[in-house]
Structure formats: structure tokens, C-alpha cells
Structure 1
Amino acid sequence: MAQYDPSEVEMLVATANELADAARKQTLAHFRSATLRADSKRGADFDPVTQADRAAEQAMREILAHRRPNDSVVGEEFAATHGSSGVTWVIDPIDGTRAYLSGTPTWGVLIAVSDATGPLLGVIDQPYIGERFVGGFGRAWVEGPMGRADLACRPARPLDQATLFTTFPEIGTPEEEAAFARLKSRVRLTRYGMDCYAYALVAAGQIDLVVEAGLQPYDIHAPIAVIEAAGGVVTNWQGGPAHQGGQVIAAANRDVHAAALELLNG
């Protein structure tokens, strides 16, 4: 990781919070609204995008154009912009658009600051609940209705006591689904849905594992930063870097990570 002086770190954190505030305003303006409409990006294969997705990303991009004009930006809804600073903002205006459309409060706004080494700072924000999970540069905390608290992942415990999350029961390809089934058969509790909020629960010490496949970089950069700052581990299914997306495992500690990897890889 490149070295960033404290004043630069504070500026990055402040800018990330400003982006999250702007996205909160835009997403809450449409959440559970009778006027909410969704288009599908891929026609018959329903991949929804709403006016809230676009409005929230546009609001964040406008702030970055003013505050950080030399940084690159990668988002879900608009083309990437390339800067000269070596810093890239990786943003997902609504992670969990299906949950958003359904009125469930488990979607979130993802904001990450990354460089060539991967994610440095992440924000997982749930506007409706009012919870914001932040992690990076050796610190991790949550702010919300219960105040502010440090984040710390759950200590190691046997796999047969672990709680596992994934977004869809039919995870990935048939081979990936079979690998997930091996892991599911060994843990105590498996739950579905939650989208990015599941990663926040790993950082908060509530659950042990999140396993996904088919992710995009904007789905995982922010969770990586938050979970790693809280003491957890995020890799691909082979134990390598996960910030390019694809197959991802987020674990509360190295012991449960190792046990889960063994099962995922047969």
C-alpha cells in the first residue's frame, strides 16, 4: 500500500462521507415510492436499474469532479473517467437494486478509494436504516441510530458454529453452486439475500462468512476495505486478491477462511 499522510487520509474520508450523504438524499427520494420505475439492462434477463441508481451516481460524480478532479472514477451506471493521481473511486449507487425495488432495507451505497494495490478505504451505507460502516487505513467504525462504535470481526470458532450468507441460493455456475453446497452442509446457519449488508455484518462481528460468485469490482471494493480494517479476510476462492470481482469469500478471521476455502475447492 502506498503511504498517505494523515491530512490526505482525512480528506479522503471526508469526501467519501460527502458522497454517501449525497447518495442518501437521492436514494431515499425514490425508495418505497409509487413513482419508482425500473428498466432492465439486459432485456429478458432482468437486471434492474432505476432513476435512483442513476441520480445517486451522478450526484457522487459531480462532487468528485469538484473535490477530486485528478482522480479516476469507476461506477456501475456510467462510463469510467480516467485521472492522473493514481487514486480511483469505485462506486455502486445502489448495491441490491432488487432489494431496493422490493422495499427491503438491505440494499446499500458502496464507495471505495483504491489505488494500484487495491482498496484503501470503503463505505457501506444503508440510508433507510441510517447506518454507515467505514473502514480503511487501519480504522473501522459504524455510525447510526445507536451512535458510533468501532468495528471488529468475530473471533475464530469451529465451522459447524458459523453463519454463512450469500445473495442468491442458486449461486453462480453449477460447479460454483456445488462448491457452495459443500460449505453450506458444514456450517450451522445459512441465510440468503442482504446484498452488501451481509459484508457489513461480517465487519460488525455478527456473522462469519459471505460467499459470492460473478461479482463486479464495484460490488466488492468497499466491502474489502471495511472488512480488512475490521480484522477480517477477503479473497477470491483460490485465496488470491478479490478486488477484480468474480468469486469472492469474505471471512471474519483466517481460521474460518481457511476452513471454507478447503470446502469450496473440494
Structure 2
Amino acid sequence: MPALSQDLIDELDAFLIELNHAAAGEILPRFRGDHGMVHKEGRWSFDPVTEADKGAERAIRKLVSERYPHHGFIGEEYGEDRPDADFVWVLDPVDGTRAFIAGLPLWTTLIGLRFEGRPVLGSIGQSYLDEIYIGHAGGSRLIRGGETTPLKVRPCLKLTDAIIATTDPEMCFTGAELGAWTQVRAAARLARLGCDAYAYAMVAAGTMDMVIEAGLQAWDIEAAIPLIEGAGGLVTDWRGQPVGQQGGQIAIAGDRACLDEALVALRRSAA
């Protein structure tokens, strides 16, 4: 069984930056250009996928396989390969494909790494803005324009002071879930919609306070867990428990007090 030493964490952290650059090489030429969008058959009436999604995931998998052939994968576009390996990369190459095809720079590249089933390293990359938000238990940081800035969540003791977000309440929430979101939104100071995982990065950066989502897959959330926790924040399900490996109903917050207020409403609709 491999050990997760500090030297190995540093090595994988540096490699994660390489993976972000490789993904950007596939994505940026297609942003606001010929992205080759098609509709995937699935749970949504419109569920787009582009050549940027596919090309970026292929590029990430290729580099990982060359460097660490014993590692596994769970990816949105190309499924699972050795998902029970000690190290598993969890990939969403373009989270926010709807924003991507609309030309909005709110999409991100999510790259997470599990070790023995637990998320230990993750990044949220927005390559059009030249931003990589990256984190692990040792801390989180923003890499932008060659400069590195530590990330820290901000205090928010009351939900009435909070800036919160979700992607699309009408699309993502069931009837009961929508009621819970509506209650939390009514209490919050400000709510923003349509930011996808970029909102997660803003919680880590201390500009937003909470993100509430439902119906997530593992690749939608796992990259964010080490980043948020490394910045001093929390990621739980709607019961306030640790997030499992299947995604589901998720609450991300910078402050425990604010999260606890929101969970009063969210628990009533927890799966």
C-alpha cells in the first residue's frame, strides 16, 4: 500500500498544475469558437457536450497514464477505469458546458484525486481567466499570471449576511429541494445563479459564503472538497454529514455558523 508522504503530495500537486495546462490547451481554442457541441442522451432535455469536454479529458488521461500507469479514473466523458485503485483521478473537463457554449467564462475544469477512497487533492481551473484554484490538507492557493495567493474563506456568522449560489434551481432541484432552496435564498443577503463550480472557487477565495446544489455526480464535487477544506471551509451533504463518493445533495460553506442555519431548511429535504 503506498504512503501519502509530503513529498508525494508536493509531486502530485505540481502534476495537477500540468494537467490544468494540458486541459487548457484543448479547451481554449474552442471557447467562443467551433466547439462541436452535440446533445447527450440523458436525464436533461438539453445536455450538451463539446469537443472541448472530450479533448480535455483525453489529454488529462493520457498524461496521467504516462506518468502514473497504476492510477485509476472516474470521468464524466469516458467513464471509469480502475475506480478501486489506490489513486483515482475524478474528472469533469468542462464543468458548466452550458456557460461554455454561451461564451460565458464561468465554466471550469475540475480535477480531483482520491487516495484510498478519500479526496486528498483538487483543483478548479478557469483557463480563460488564467486561474487555477488548488488545494489539499496543507492549504489552498490561487495561481494566476505566475503569482500565487493563499486562499482563505471568510467569516459569515449569520445566513442573513451571506452571499449564496446555486446553478439552476428549476433544473437541479426536485419540488421538496426547491422549497428548501427557496427558504435559504429568502434568508440570505444575495443569491447568484448559473456560476456552476466557479462559485465553489469563490467560497474558497472568500468572496462568497455558500453554495447549495443537488443531483451532483462525483466528478461535479470531489475536486472542490480538498480546495474548500484547505481554505478553511466545509463541504457536507444536506444532513451536515461528509459527502459520499456518489455526490448528491451538497452544501459548501465558508463558516460553520452560516452552514448550520441553512441546514435547518436543507435537512427537511435531505435524501
TM-score, L = length of structure 2: 0.93
1:200 & 1:167 partners in 2: Cα distance? 14
Correspondences of 1:178-189 after superposition (within 5 Å): 178-189=179-190
**Contact between 2:99 and 2:106, CA under 8 Å: does it hold in 1?**
yes
Query: Deviation per CA, 1:71-126, whole angstroms, max 9, x where unpaired?
Result: 11111000311177511110110000000000000100000111234210110000
Residue pair 1:70, 1:84 contacting (<8 A) in 2 also:
no
Q: Distance in 2 between matches of 1:229 and 1:117?
A: 18
1:37 equivalent in structure 2: 36
Q: Secondary structure at the match of 1:195?
A: coil
Q: How many residues align?
A: 264
CA RMSD of aligned residues (A): 1.6
Verify: 1:134 aligned to 2:128, yes or no: no
Letter in structure 1 aligned against 2:40: K
Aligned residue type for 1:82: R
Partner of 1:71: 71
The answer to whether the Cα contact below 8 Å between 1:69 and 1:83 also exists between their aligned partners in 2 is no
**CA gap 1:84/1:181 in 2 versus in 1, 3 angstroms:** closer
Distance 1:237 1:111 in 2: 23
How does 1:100-139 map onto structure 2 within 5 Å? 100-139=100-139
Which stretch of structure 1 is more off in the superposition, 79-88 or 44-53? 79-88
Q: Where in structure 2 are the equivalents of 1:98-247 lying within 5 Å?
A: 98-145=98-145, 147-170=147-170, 171-243=172-244, 244-247=246-249
Q: Distance in 1 between matches of 2:108 and 2:84?
A: 29
**2:61 aligns to what SS in structure 1?**
helix
Q: Which amino acid aligns with 1:250?
A: I
Percent identity over the alignment is 40
Letter in 2 for 1:247: Q
Deviations 1:141-197 (A, max 9, x none): 001148321000011322111111000031410110001011111111011011110
SS in 1 for 2:226: helix
User: Which consecutive residues of structure 2, in runs of 5 or more, have no partner in the other structure?
Assistant: none
Please give the TM-score of this superposition, normalised by the length of structure 1: 0.95
Q: Does 1:22 align with 2:28?
A: no
Gaps of 5+ in 1: none
State how far apart, in whole Å, the 2-side matches of 1:30 and 1:46 are: 20
Q: Secondary structure at the match of 2:128?
A: coil
